[in-house]
Structure 1
Amino acid sequence: MENHPSRRNFLKSTTAAAAGATLTSTIARTAHAAGDDEIKFALIGCGGRGQGASQNIFNTKGNTKLVAVADAFDGKASSAIQNLSRRNEGKVDVPADRKFVGLDAYKKIMDVDCDLVIIATPPGFKPQQFEAAVNAGKHIFMEKPVASDAPGVRRVLKSVEESKQKNLMVGIGLQRRHEAQYLETVGRIHDGAIGDLITLRVYWNGGGIWYRNRTPDQTEMGFQCNNWYHFNWLSGDQICEQHIHNLDVGCWLKGEYPVECNGMGGRGQRLDGDATKSQIFDHTFCEYTFADGSKMYSQGRHLKGGWNQVAEYAHGTKGTADVSGARINANDSEWSFDRSKRQQGHQQEQHDLIEALMRGEIYNEGEYGALSTFTAILGREACYSGKVIRWDELMENGKNLSPGIDEYTLQTPPPVVPGPDGKYPVPVPGEYDPFA
């Protein structure tokens, strides 16, 4: 590299996987953006969140271009190209030979000349896709959650360490950590605004979610992948897929992760109780315990006609905080964040990521992305089993929900199949074994 490298040279150096290059922090600090530098990115997972993250990247100040896409289904890959091309003239260059289809399509992305990879696939597939991107020396933005089981989290954590050695950017879609209202509120609490934390309360209570009817030409694997939210091995259940945001905020506030959890949950309204369509719960309640004995109470729910709440609250020795509302009450005084300065997190996280790359700076969110994912998995397994589950034991011995996943195709029988009655197995508290 030259004495005064451009950001483009910086990107090329850090994506030179064949050379195994690890950029020093000195070079990263001295890299700068040139006005015409182009950031090429590829998209793995062309659903709503993948297209949304791509659009957010196009909305940044960066000179960005989408150069490849991959999805399990041809229709979704083609739709993403068409939708993004229509909205972003000149920013999408994805010819037919850079549109990859199938469960192994992500592998072909790794040979494409690009700087950044977006991974927005079902959580069950993310560990091997993240590993492949790190091995290929790509910068990465990966949506949350990053896995659906303990072996997947361990695999991600191992790849995170490798990404640090290669000095790769790793952004994780826990966007609250990029929003000004959260940053200031959490900062004030960390500075002692409400004293020592005693209790945290976190919620994701909402209505139902989408479901896609089976089509005559679908394989069982194709049906499940198209309805990935409804299968534990793919989504990790609602507590992982959505409620992770609130659990992440709670652990961020506490500055640590829980040591154990007990919980309860079940299925009351999920598709009217039809187990031929879905196997996940529609409500969970967890009591997380931290090392000092303090608690985090968690509610996650999909319930038609119920009380909706997506929020986080903190109670301390000197006061309380409505964290999601960015308000603090302590010592007979009140503080609230200026609502006019609130930020939209999905967009802000991409502003931060692209601007950092343009400056030649690197940050890595992989570790807390994995540990917050595991917090959700810990809660799910406690609810499924009805038992107290220890963090360390589950991390080491938690069950593998999808053995052999690296070799899956749309023709492969999935790890969960209907029984003779056409119903998918549903966890039964008191009988379910999180270690089997």
Structure 2
Amino acid sequence: MQNKPDRRSFLKTSTAAAAGAALTSTIAKTAHAAGSDEIRFVLVGCGGRGTGAAAQIFNTKGNVKLVAVADAFQGNADRAIKSLSRGENKSKIDVPAERVFVGLDAYKAAIDVEADLVVIATPPGFKPQQFEYAVNKGRHIFMEKPVASDAAGVRRVLKSVEESKKKNLMLAIGLQRRHQPNYMETIERIHDGAIGDVISQQVYWNGGGIWYRNRTDAQSEMAFQTNNWYHFNWVCGDQICEQHIHNLDVGCWVKGMYPVECNGMGGREQRMGGDATKSQIFDHTACEYTFADGTKMFSQGRHLAGGWNHVGEFAQGTKGTADPSGTINGANAWKFSGENVNGHQQEQHDLIEALMRGEIYNEGEYGAHSTFTAILGREACYSGKIVKWDELLEKGTELAPGIDSYTLDSEVPASARPDSEGRYPVPTPGKYNPFA
């Protein structure tokens, strides 16, 4: 890179660092960070994934310092700081009480703290406005997947992605398979024609279930849903968004495009024993995605105790088949033999090393489009109808209008408001309208 600014100048004034072409996520895995410039970062969202991402940033070769945290709940913030302060990482934390921010609007105060990098690991329903705020503040960003829970959120994210490019900001998205050498090399071979033209795919996230947090007497309805976010569509986007997005992302990466439409089916078999007073999301979805060339991607997402558990992807081509995680069968048979890395850790190595070299990449578009692929599938399963990408992106139902002004005492959105008997609305295929 020519005319590259010094690392500190890059971190502080990235909008002025016109330092050559942006990198993709294929940053050399053997490159290591150098120098002693400190990268200050803040953590927005102190749950398991946020705490994990911060710990993985600590494990990089960068000189990093956590300087502020924000969460909807004090307990989450306190637990994160306690967990991250263990052992040698204690020296990498400088978060006094006045830089611990709590509430649904706490992200603003945390992002306002002088820092280079913002880590956003909140439930997907809250991410669009938090991402927008961080971009407006000129911060580099790591944002976990999925990046939104509805079409309105995806549109907002895409607009902010364009702003992040104008400001030359680093934007990394937590679709960690894109940073794993086994996936990267296999998919590169597929793109080079190892299995011919890709004509069909199957992608799976079938597991046994997820956590549930019982309501406490002191909680408002908004606090209960925010704390129990995986069970409410406006916050999580359902299992197809929150987990199955990884496999859908791989399928679209393999194909090199996103689907134009989807039809699907789904429902609730075991979710909370069928109790609609505790949860509103489905426990199984099955989708048929269609690409512009007419080829198909078939998807299964499931939480079902006692069923077949499998997380993975498969592709069929005109000259062979592939498991994108490392195997090609057919005339060009091949198996990945390199080092298997922890994808969550590798994406943080790539992020911090690139920042310290004064180089950036922007993963925002595929983060948003892969999120929308999951939303497209969910709306097809909820409605039982064929749903088209362009129409849904333009007109899809907004699940949480006015979310920017929500507090823990606000009324929950109508899409998750319980009836007189405490039952939450559960989408009914054949009746649900994705454009309501």
TM range (shorter): over 0.9
Query: How much does 1:27 deviate?
Result: 10
Deviations 1:17-67 (CA, angstroms, capped at 9, x unpaired): xxxx443134989xx976220000000000000000000100000000100
* CA–CA distance in structure 1, aligned partners of residues 388 and 419 of structure 2: 31
Partner of 1:306: 307
Partner of 1:259: 260
**Does the CA-based 8 Å contact 2:33-2:353 persist in structure 1?**
no
Q: Letter of the aligned partner of 1:10 in structure 2?
A: F
* CA–CA distance in structure 1, aligned partners of residues 293 and 86 of structure 2: 54
Q: Letter of the aligned partner of 1:148 in structure 2?
A: S
Mean alpha-carbon deviation: is it higher for 76-85 or for 288-297? 76-85
User: What pairs up with 1:4-403 in 2 under 5 angstroms?
Assistant: 5-14=5-14, 21-26=15-20, 35-87=35-87, 88-324=89-325, 326-331=326-331, 334-338=333-337, 341-403=339-401
Q: Letter of the aligned partner of 1:194 in structure 2?
A: I
* CA–CA distance in structure 1, aligned partners of residues 109 and 34 of structure 2: 30
Q: Letter of the aligned partner of 1:77 in structure 2?
A: A
Query: How much does 1:376 deviate?
Result: 0.2
Q: Secondary structure at the match of 1:65?
A: strand
Partner of 2:26: none
Query: How much does 1:355 deviate?
Result: 0.3
**Does the CA-based 8 Å contact 1:205-1:307 persist in structure 2?**
yes
Q: Secondary structure at the match of 1:43?
A: strand
* CA–CA distance in structure 1, aligned partners of residues 82 and 412 of structure 2: 31
Query: How much does 1:89 deviate?
Result: 2.2
Deviations 1:136-195 (CA, angstroms, capped at 9, x unpaired): 000000000000000000000000000000000000000000000000000000000000
* CA–CA distance in structure 2, aligned partners of residues 101 and 125 of structure 1: 14
Q: Letter of the aligned partner of 1:54 in structure 2?
A: A
Q: 2:410 aligns with which of 396, 412, 426?
A: 412
* CA–CA distance in structure 2, aligned partners of residues 208 and 4 of structure 1: 49
**Does the CA-based 8 Å contact 2:38-2:64 persist in structure 1?**
yes
Q: Letter of the aligned partner of 1:413 in structure 2?
A: E
Q: Letter of the aligned partner of 2:39 in structure 1?
A: I
Deviations 1:339-389 (CA, angstroms, capped at 9, x unpaired): x51111000000000000010001000000000000000000000000000
Q: Secondary structure at the match of 1:109?
A: helix
Query: How much does 1:111 deviate?
Result: 1.5
* CA–CA distance in structure 2, aligned partners of residues 238 and 28 of structure 1: 33
Query: How much does 1:8 deviate?
Result: 1.3
* CA–CA distance in structure 1, aligned partners of residues 17 and 357 of structure 2: 14
Gap runs ≥5 in structure 2? 24-31
When normalised by structure 1's length, the TM-score is: 0.95
* CA–CA distance in structure 2, aligned partners of residues 78 and 113 of structure 1: 21
Q: Letter of the aligned partner of 1:73 in structure 2?
A: F
CA 1:9/1:278 → structure 2, altered by over 3 Å: closer, same or farther?
same
Aligned residues: 423
Deviations 1:109-154 (CA, angstroms, capped at 9, x unpaired): 1220100000000000000000000000000000000000000000
Query: How much does 1:335 deviate?
Result: 1.1
Q: Secondary structure at the match of 2:83?
A: helix
* CA–CA distance in structure 2, aligned partners of residues 37 and 153 of structure 1: 35
* CA–CA distance in structure 1, aligned partners of residues 350 and 242 of structure 2: 23
CA 1:58/1:286 → structure 2, altered by over 3 Å: closer, same or farther?
same
Q: Letter of the aligned partner of 1:25 in structure 2?
A: A
Give the superposed CA RMSD: 1.4
* CA–CA distance in structure 1, aligned partners of residues 176 and 22 of structure 2: 24
Query: How much does 1:323 deviate?
Result: 1.6
Aligned sequence identity (%):
73
CA 1:82/1:318 → structure 2, altered by over 3 Å: closer, same or farther?
same
When normalised by structure 2's length, the TM-score is: 0.95
**Does the CA-based 8 Å contact 1:7-1:34 persist in structure 2?**
no
Query: How much does 1:422 deviate?
Result: 1.1
**Does the CA-based 8 Å contact 1:33-1:360 persist in structure 2?**
no
Query: How much does 1:4 deviate?
Result: 6.8
Deviations 1:224-276 (CA, angstroms, capped at 9, x unpaired): 01100000000000000000000000000111100000000000000111110
Gap runs ≥5 in structure 1? 15-20
* CA–CA distance in structure 1, aligned partners of residues 242 and 47 of structure 2: 15
Query: How much does 1:421 deviate?
Result: 1.5
* CA–CA distance in structure 1, aligned partners of residues 336 and 382 of structure 2: 38
